[in-house]
Chains A and B, each alone.
Chain A
Amino acid sequence: MTTKKHISLEELQVPSWVERNQSTIRQMKLYMHTFRRNSSAMLGLGIVIVFLITAAIGPWVVPYPEDAQGTIHLEIKLLPPSAAHWFGTDEVGDDVLTRVIIGARVSLKIGLIITGIAILIGVPLGLIAGLVGGRTDELIMRFTDVFLSVPGLILAIAIVGALGPGIQNAMLALSLVWWPGYVRLVQAKTLSLKNSIYVDAARSMGASNMRIVFVHILPNCSSPIVVKASMDMGLAILGAASLGFLGLGAQPPFPEWGAMISYGRNYLPDWWWYSFFPGMCIFLTVLGFNLMGDGLRDILDPRSRE
């Protein structure tokens, strides 16, 4: 039996994971350091984390799970905040805290879907416009301009008006008006990257178009996309809540914050807690995503501030 000579990692001269990724790790450390020193960004991150945790564990921690979809117990309707109902109860006796917590989950889903669809439509269009150039570029950008020429909320209302009110249609409408920002962003970035020296170098070595897009251009577009997406999460939630408030989005008893405010409004000012707490949640969530996005921009994309 021959004895295998034991070869240690050091002898093989294989660099460890840490060594191989040293530059990335150093950069991440720098990012974290910059982000941590930015107190408003940390506040935003904190709010976003609380929001995400609430959305994740919501259904298992709410005090009255059956109230989320609107059970009716009129004997406890419109109770002020108390130990049993921290945020009070609404006009059919549902616990407002329960509905607000489930509303976080609804909002997270809304934000992710709208931002996700907007990225899926906007980024490829922007890449194509920037890379192909010429008439295709002109066509895509003029098409984008049309969508940008109307205030987004108005266009969304027009689309909901055509499709009929409801949370699904509201999300669809908002997604359809949300993508143009990404086209502009990615197209501009692609145009400037397309003629950079390293892309020329890659091309001269015979890299395919696909490789250039996915290895060289897209990763370099990712910072502004991440920043924009972070801000858009908040704004999309606000947009859906606005449609809900107008009666064009989620319909009661669906626990969506905007729709809750719309109904709670009828009970102001005596039963203020009904509309106050959902409004506070929208405010904090949008603020959180915005501050976080601002902080991300400071570290990822410092030159492109407003």
Chain B
Amino acid sequence: MLNFFLRRSIFMFGTLFALLILTFVISHVAPGDPAVLAAGPDATKEMVETVRKEYGLDKPLPLQFLVYAGNILQGDFGHSIFSGREVADDLMRYFPATFELVVFSIFIAVLLGVPLGVLSAVKKNTWIDHFIRIFSASGVGVPMFWLGMLLQFYFGLHLGWLPLGGQLAIMTDPPAPITHLLIIDSLLRLQFDVALEALQHILLPAVTLCFPALASIIRVNRAEMLETLNEDYITNSKAQGISTLRIVGLYALRNAMLPTLAMIGLRFGWMLGGTVLVESVFDFPGVGLYAVQTAVSSDFEPIMAVTLLLGFFFMVANFIVDILYSLLDPRLQGK
């Protein structure tokens, strides 16, 4: 187990380093002179040259990479023209919101997806099954930004049940930071009204974001359950008179959960990508919205920092899934 853990960690850091090279290549080798971009559209030739010197862009590429990697290891992600702040400060400010959104969303997806998948498998070929399958097939095709807009205008504007966007109402003061996670902080500070307000704000974005993941969790879980329910040991348990609830919920589900777990890990990454769209629709102040705003204005360093950050979290998520997977299925540890 320890061996597996170590090998997996080394692999993760290797990939992370390679990702660092990739973002460096995109930002430094791509057509378009980074110095010109950094100096802004109205800069004179001398200003561009000053910027080039200042950013070390006149040095050879390998040297530039060492400087780049060194800075990032020290937590210096550069400067954002868009916000006028250090990128690291911006990330600290925006990332907790994204993290909260994704975690909340994956919770919804798992809490709904697993039972619906099981239900669909147990009630195979009934109208319940057909309904769930149509629902999950649509989930793959629906454009997230469009679904978000529709939900926003139906529940936010038409019914007026939920806020249109943002993380809190403008007049509400956020709680003093402890973990920087808004809902957690307001609960820790015992400001339950703020927590409720934050929940109302996060609900629609989270539901929108979870939709494609929900769809694939249902599909995988249904397929696995169908397969597991056909196994001999299930038939045997039935013959022994064990209750259906116990058979389905305990014996079958446990085995069907392994591939579902892998799917959840995979979907976590897609969700990190989806935050870009959902946060734009709901004006949710996370790194996704930040990435879009800076990308539109060709503000380099923030986008690369967001790419690295989300890549890192995706890798960590996969790492955790792999470890969980090998704990649940010891056969994999040898591989």
Contact B153 A158 (CB under 8 A): no
CA distance A142 to B307 in the complex (A): 18
Contact B32 A164 (CB under 8 A): yes
Residue of B nearest to A44 (CB): B137
CA distance A2 to B333 in the complex (A): 83
**Which chain A residues lie closer than 8 Å to B220 at the CB level?**
306
Counting CB contacts under 8 A, is A152 at the interface? yes
Contact B295 A142 (CB under 8 A): no
Given the interface pairs A163-B32, A306-B220, the reply to whether A149 lies near B292 with Cβ below 8 Å is no
Shortest CB-to-CB span from A89 to chain B, Å, is 20
Binding stretch for chain B, among A4-12, A185-193, A208-216, A238-246? A238-246
Given the interface pairs A152-B273, A265-B149, the reply to whether A157 lies near B27 with Cβ below 8 Å is no
Contact B296 A248 (CB under 8 A): yes
Counting CB contacts under 8 A, is A154 at the interface? yes
Contact A158 B315 (CB under 8 A): no
Contact A146 B18 (CB under 8 A): yes
CA distance A279 to B281 in the complex (A): 14
When the two chains form the complex, which single residue of A142, A146, A261 contacts B145, counting CB atoms closer than 8 Å? A261
What is the 8 Å Cβ interface bit string for chain A, positions 157-178, against chain B (1 contact, 0 not)? 1111111110000000000000
Counting CB contacts under 8 A, is B291 at the interface? yes
What is the 8 Å Cβ interface bit string for chain B, positions 30-74, against chain A (1 contact, 0 not)? 111000000000000000000000000000000000000000000
Shortest CB-to-CB span from A248 to chain B, Å, is 6
**Which chain B residues lie closer than 8 Å to A158 at the CB level?**
23, 26, 295, 303-304, 306-307
Q: How many A-B residue pairs have CB under 8 A?
A: 158
Counting CB contacts under 8 A, is A283 at the interface? yes
**Which chain B residues lie closer than 8 Å to A151 at the CB level?**
269-270, 272-274, 310-311, 314
Contact B153 A268 (CB under 8 A): yes
**Which chain B residues lie closer than 8 Å to A306 at the CB level?**
216, 219-220, 223, 259, 263
CA distance A286 to B146 in the complex (A): 13
Shortest CB-to-CB span from A127 to chain B, Å, is 22
**Which chain A residues lie closer than 8 Å to B213 at the CB level?**
none
Counting CB contacts under 8 A, is A145 at the interface? yes
**Which chain A residues lie closer than 8 Å to B263 at the CB level?**
306
**Chain A contacts with B in 229-250, Cβ cutoff 8 A:** 234, 238, 241-242, 245-248
What is the 8 Å Cβ interface bit string for chain A, positions 275-287, against chain B (1 contact, 0 not)? 1000100111111
CA distance A272 to B154 in the complex (A): 11
Counting CB contacts under 8 A, is B244 at the interface? no
**Which chain A residues lie closer than 8 Å to B150 at the CB level?**
279
**Which chain B residues lie closer than 8 Å to A288 at the CB level?**
141
Contact A165 B296 (CB under 8 A): yes
Given the interface pairs A162-B32, A291-B137, A305-B223, the reply to whether A157 lies near B15 with Cβ below 8 Å is no
Counting CB contacts under 8 A, is A225 at the interface? no
What is the 8 Å Cβ interface bit string for chain B, positions 270-307, against chain A (1 contact, 0 not)? 10111011001000000000011011101110011011
Given the interface pairs A146-B15, A159-B26, A279-B143, the reply to whether A154 lies near B310 with Cβ below 8 Å is yes
Contact B292 A275 (CB under 8 A): no
CA distance A283 to B211 in the complex (A): 13
Counting CB contacts under 8 A, is B138 at the interface? yes
Shortest CB-to-CB span from B306 to chain A, Å, is 7
Given the interface pairs A40-B137, A142-B14, A151-B310, the reply to whether A248 lies near B143 with Cβ below 8 Å is no
Shortest CB-to-CB span from A282 to chain B, Å, is 5
Contact B295 A268 (CB under 8 A): no
Counting CB contacts under 8 A, is A226 at the interface? no
Residue of B nearest to A261 (CB): B146
Q: What is the total number of residues of chain B having a CB less than 8 Å from a CB of chain A?
A: 58
**Which chain B residues lie closer than 8 Å to A157 at the CB level?**
276, 291-292, 295, 303, 307
CA distance A286 to B147 in the complex (A): 14
What is the 8 Å Cβ interface bit string for chain B, positions 305-324, against chain A (1 contact, 0 not)? 01100110011000000000
CA distance A306 to B217 in the complex (A): 11
CA distance A181 to B146 in the complex (A): 26
Contact A287 B138 (CB under 8 A): yes
Among A162, A247, A285, the one with the most B-chain Cβ atoms within 10 Å of its Cβ is: A162
Contact A283 B141 (CB under 8 A): yes
Counting CB contacts under 8 A, is A150 at the interface? yes
Counting CB contacts under 8 A, is B7 at the interface? no
CA distance A276 to B142 in the complex (A): 12
Given the interface pairs A163-B31, A265-B149, A269-B158, the reply to whether A153 lies near B276 with Cβ below 8 Å is yes
Counting CB contacts under 8 A, is A92 at the interface? no
**Chain A contacts with B in 283-304, Cβ cutoff 8 A:** 283-288, 290-291
Counting CB contacts under 8 A, is B140 at the interface? yes
Contact B291 A269 (CB under 8 A): no
CA distance A149 to B310 in the complex (A): 9
What is the 8 Å Cβ interface bit string for chain B, positions 226-261, against chain A (1 contact, 0 not)? 000000000000000000000000000000000100
CA distance A127 to B164 in the complex (A): 50
Counting CB contacts under 8 A, is A128 at the interface? no
Counting CB contacts under 8 A, is B92 at the interface? no
**13 extra interchain contacts, Cβ-Cβ under 8 A, other than A40-B133, A283-B138, A283-B146?**
A146-B22, A151-B274, A157-B307, A161-B303, A162-B298, A163-B32, A246-B292, A248-B295, A269-B153, A275-B146, A283-B142, A290-B141, A291-B137
Q: Which residues of A contact B (CB under 8 A)?
A: 40, 142-143, 145-147, 149-155, 157-165, 234, 238, 241-242, 245-248, 258, 261, 265, 268-269, 272, 275, 279, 282-288, 290-291, 305-306
Enumerate the 6 nearest inter-chain pairs by beta-carbon distance, A residue then B residue, closest first.
Answer: A151-B273, A287-B141, A279-B146, A286-B141, A161-B295, A153-B273
Can you list 5 pairs linking A and B with CB atoms under 8 Å apart? A153-B274, A161-B299, A242-B145, A287-B138, A290-B141
